């Protein structure tokens, strides 16, 4: 009887341990969640409720004034369009270049594979630094052009490693041999066999590059001067961090101005983060897969 | 070689990318040893020897910059390295799949918030007048504090906001390592009557050790490369005493003041120290455990 009980129920110590663990994890999760809820709730509250600190958990005196102000702001709209452009075009360029180098490097019969791999990974260990890179971009005439955000950081070495590992692990060698016997060229083989078989890794690459491009501000900060080219993040910086919301509110609202500017910040945060956060639950597994593929030594 | 000519054609654009945007900048670091003159360009400018390095070492800001960079990095490492491990170990114990999935989904989410938004959130929450933190402080009858204006608070704000943002993401790699632990080890632990804590110590911890060592090497190798992006945005004139680090300094003297040679020298110094640290830690790791980067 006693033996039976021990196998079914955990010892008291373990049960206490697990209870504490569940409580702690619940608290940690709430601590991560709370700031996010607070931001969203504030963004849907009225200007005066936010400014007088009445919001704790749910929206107080619900209104969409904040969002109205955001969508009436030309800077924000231009930034949104620009960021969409950079994310789409940049991702296309980055994924293409990454596959172009990762696939050849995945082939054991590719002569020069080792040295080229070294050539690439060394750039992870040592970089020229800010000014020397800036000089190159300047010499190429890319300063204050859209190319400055698309080219200088187009390839992430880590993504090359992930893609290469995927190609090595999941493209059967026999397929390649069969294709070669049939006289299929490498390019034909890539377009008709590799690409269709590599949809999961292409999804991982596209997501990583798109999120990075959407969230980046540094390259724009150093390379761009014209406001018409600014990505959303740079606009956010000027409004949210430097507090330059001038010209965003019309005269009739002057009285509520300060309150509205404050509320608008919350709405702006939601609007800017929405594209990424909204797709995240559906693509989380791809991100996790990407990390796991990369962690297998190739 | 002839057989794969198309593949060689294919790698030309990516290889050019690395040459142009990664290797030419490395060659450009020669700028650190020259007095840059716009009309003569990098290669035509006069040699300056180690003038700019001496200028940096003799600069009154030198020690502050090194100290700020190192202190915040080690602080970040000391807090940011163990927390994802603890989170992964705890998540691994959970048998309720739904609970586990929810916790993972939520803790992973902040990773996708951009640096600009993250810093904006910090500023909004800590604002002395309207921020949530100070509203609570005042409700408790205490005085409001301008946290971001106090050099003493800066490091903790930086480090803990980073933990908030990345712990869930970093835990994934350890969870994967835990999933790969040989199930017979757990059975053996059960047969031996090990408690959950004993099982964690003797089975789980050794299971994630290789992953932890790799992450540790990479983190130490990045000690001097601590992110410019977040630091720069969090800076304000009041907290500069602790928030000015090498990368923000390079940006200011280089791009804002156009002092190219000096900024390149400071940046090169930083990169070299970083590389040395990485090689050193990797060698150490290879000696004490069997895991290393290469």
Q: What is the mean pLDDT of residues B85-111?
A: 90
- Reported as half-sphere exposure (CB side, CA atoms, 13 A), residue A239 has a value of 32
A58 to chain B, minimum CA–CA distance in Å?
14
B60 to chain A, minimum CA–CA distance in Å?
22
Pick the residue from chain B with its C-alpha nearest to A280. B109
Answer yes or no: do A38 and B263 touch at CB < 8 A: no
Gap between the terminal Cα atoms of chain A: 53
Residue B283, chain A, CB below 8 Å: the answer is no
Backbone angles phi, psi at A155, to 5 degrees: -115, 130
Q: What is the mean pLDDT of residues B218-243?
A: 82
Q: State the best of B93, B124, B157, B177 to mutate against chain A, taking most chain A CBs within 10 Å.
A: B124
Q: State the best of B4, B25, B107 to mutate against chain A, taking most chain A CBs within 10 Å.
A: B25
Give A98's contacts in chain B (Cβ within 8 Å): 14
In 3D space, the residue among B236, B247, B294, B254 whose CA is nearest the CA of residue B274 turns out to be B247
Q: State the best of A15, A131, A164, A283 to mutate against chain B, taking most chain B CBs within 10 Å.
A: A131
Residue A25, chain B, CB below 8 Å: the answer is yes
- The distance from CA A292 to its chain's CA centroid, rounded to whole angstroms, is 17
A97 to chain B, minimum CA–CA distance in Å?
6
pLDDT tens string B25-63: 999 888 888 888 877 877 778 887 888 888 888 988 899
| pTM exceeds 0.95, yes or no | no
Structural domains of chain A sorted by starting position, each given as residue range(s) with its CATH number in brackets: 70-293 (1.10.3720.10)
- Mean pLDDT by runs of 10 across the 298 residues of chain A is 53 86 93 92 84 81 83 88 95 96 88 90 86 92 94 92 86 79 82 84 88 91 92 90 60 64 87 86 72 55
Answer yes or no: do B6 and A185 touch at CB < 8 A: yes
- Reported as half-sphere exposure (CB side, CA atoms, 13 A), residue B181 has a value of 26
CA–CA separation, A236 vs A242, rounded Å?
Answer: 9
Beta strands in B214-278 (DSSP E): none
Give A154's contacts in chain B (Cβ within 8 Å): 17, 21
Lowest mean pLDDT among A279-293, B97-111, B167-181, B200-214: A279-293
Answer yes or no: do B28 and A128 touch at CB < 8 A: yes
In which band, very low, low, confident or very high, does the pLDDT at B157 lie, cut at 50, 70 and 90? very high
What integer pLDDT is reported at residue A250 of this predicted model?
52
B50 CB-near residues (< 8 Å, 6+ apart): B33
Backbone angles phi, psi at B47, to 5 degrees: -70, 145
Residue B94, chain A, CB below 8 Å: the answer is yes
Q: Is the dihedral of CA A93, A94, A100, A103 positive or negative?
A: negative
Residue B29, chain A, CB below 8 Å: the answer is yes
ipTM beyond cut 0.90: no
Answer yes or no: do B123 and A22 touch at CB < 8 A: no
Answer yes or no: do B255 and A101 touch at CB < 8 A: no
Q: State the best of B1, B3, B28, B278 to mutate against chain A, taking most chain A CBs within 10 Å.
A: B28
Residue A89, chain B, CB below 8 Å: the answer is no
What integer pLDDT is reported at residue B139 of this predicted model?
81
What integer pLDDT is reported at residue B182 of this predicted model?
83
Pick the residue from chain B with its C-alpha nearest to A274. B113
What integer pLDDT is reported at residue A230 of this predicted model?
94
Report chain B's mean pLDDT, rounded to a whole number: 86
Q: Nearest by CB to A155, from B14, B109, B263: name it.
A: B14
Q: State the best of B112, B222, B278 to mutate against chain A, taking most chain A CBs within 10 Å.
A: B112
Lowest mean pLDDT among A242-246, B107-111, B262-266: A242-246
Give the whole-number percent of chain B exceeding pLDDT 90. 20
Q: Nearest by CB to A17, from B7, B172, B196: name it.
A: B196
- B46's enclosing H/E stretch is strand B46-47
B7 CB-near residues (< 8 Å, 6+ apart): A103, A104, A107, A110, A186
110-129 in B: which are within 8 Å (CB) of A? Answer: 110, 112-117, 119-121, 123-125
B38 to chain A, minimum CA–CA distance in Å?
11
Residue A107 contacts residue B7 (beta carbons within 8 Å): yes
132-161 in B: which are within 8 Å (CB) of A? Answer: 132, 135
In 3D space, the residue among A51, A74, A52 whose CA is nearest the CA of residue A250 turns out to be A74
Answer yes or no: do A211 and B112 touch at CB < 8 A: yes
């Amino acid at each position: 009887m006693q033996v039976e009980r021990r196998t079914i129920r955990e010892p008291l110590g373990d049960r206490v341990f697990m209870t504490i663990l569940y409580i702690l994890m619940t608290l940690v999760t709430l601590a991560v969640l709370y700031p996010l809820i607070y931001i969203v709730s504030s963004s849907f509250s009225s200007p005066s409720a936010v400014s007088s600190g009445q919001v704790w958990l749910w929206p107080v005196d619900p209104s969409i004034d904040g969002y109205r102000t955001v969508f009436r702001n030309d800077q924000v709209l231009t930034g949104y369009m620009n960021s969409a452009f950079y994310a789409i075009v940049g991702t296309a360029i980055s994924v293409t270049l990454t596959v172009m180098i990762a696939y050849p490097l995945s082939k054991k019969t590719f002569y020069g594979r080792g040295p080229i791999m070294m050539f690439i990974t060394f750039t992870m260990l040592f970089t020229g630094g800010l000014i020397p890179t800036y000089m190159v971009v300047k010499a190429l005439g890319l300063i204050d052009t859209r190319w400055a955000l698309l080219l200088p950081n187009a390839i992430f070495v880590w993504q090359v490693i992930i893609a290469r590992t995927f190609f090595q692990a999941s493209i059967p060698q026999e397929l390649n041999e069969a294709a070669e016997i049939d006289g299929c060229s490498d390019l034909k083989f890539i377009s008709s066999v590799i690409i269709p078989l590599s949809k999961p890794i292409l999804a991982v690459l596209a997501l990583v590059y798109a999120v990075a491009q959407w969230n980046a501000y540094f390259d724009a900060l150093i390379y761009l001067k014209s406001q018409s080219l600014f990505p959303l993040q740079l606009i956010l910086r000027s409004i949210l961090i430097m507090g330059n919301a001038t010209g965003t509110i019309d005269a009739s609202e002057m009285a509520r101005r300060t309150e509205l500017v404050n509320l608008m910040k919350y709405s702006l945060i939601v609007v800017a983060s929405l594209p990424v956060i909204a797709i995240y639950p559906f693509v989380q597994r791809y991100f996790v897969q990407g990390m796991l593929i990369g962690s297998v030594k190739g | 070689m002839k057989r794969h000519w198309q593949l060689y054609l294919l790698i030309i654009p990516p290889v050019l990318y690395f040459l142009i945007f990664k290797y030419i900048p490395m060659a450009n670091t020669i700028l650190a040893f020259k007095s840059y003159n716009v009309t003569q360009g990098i290669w035509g400018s006069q040699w300056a020897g180690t003038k700019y390095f001496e200028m940096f070492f003799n600069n009154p800001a030198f020690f502050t910059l090194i100290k700020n960079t190192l202190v915040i990095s080690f602080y970040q490492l000391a807090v940011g390295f163990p927390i994802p491990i603890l989170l992964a170990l705890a998540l691994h114990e959970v048998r309720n799949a739904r609970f586990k999935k929810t916790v993972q989904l939520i803790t992973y989410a902040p990773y996708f918030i951009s640096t600009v938004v993250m810093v904006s959130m910090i500023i909004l929450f800590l604002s002395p007048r309207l921020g949530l933190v100070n509203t609570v402080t005042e409700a408790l009858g205490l005085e409001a504090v301008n946290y971001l204006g106090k050099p003493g608070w800066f490091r903790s704000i930086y480090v803990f906001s980073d933990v908030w943002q990345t712990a869930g993401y970093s835990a994934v790699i350890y969870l994967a390592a835990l999933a790969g632990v040989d199930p017979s080890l757990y059975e053996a632990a059960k047969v031996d009557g090990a408690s959950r804590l004993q099982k964690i110590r003797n089975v789980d911890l050794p299971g994630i050790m290789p992953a932890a060592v790799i992450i540790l090497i990479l983190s130490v190798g990045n000690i001097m490369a601590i992110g410019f992006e977040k630091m720069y945005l969090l800076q304000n004139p009041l907290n500069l005493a602790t928030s000015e680090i090498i990368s923000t300094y390079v940006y200011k003297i280089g791009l804002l003041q156009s002092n190219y040679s000096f900024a390149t020298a400071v940046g090169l110094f930083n990169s070299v120290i970083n590389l040395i640290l990485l090689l050193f830690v990797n060698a150490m790791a290879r000696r004490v455990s069997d895991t290393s980067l290469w």
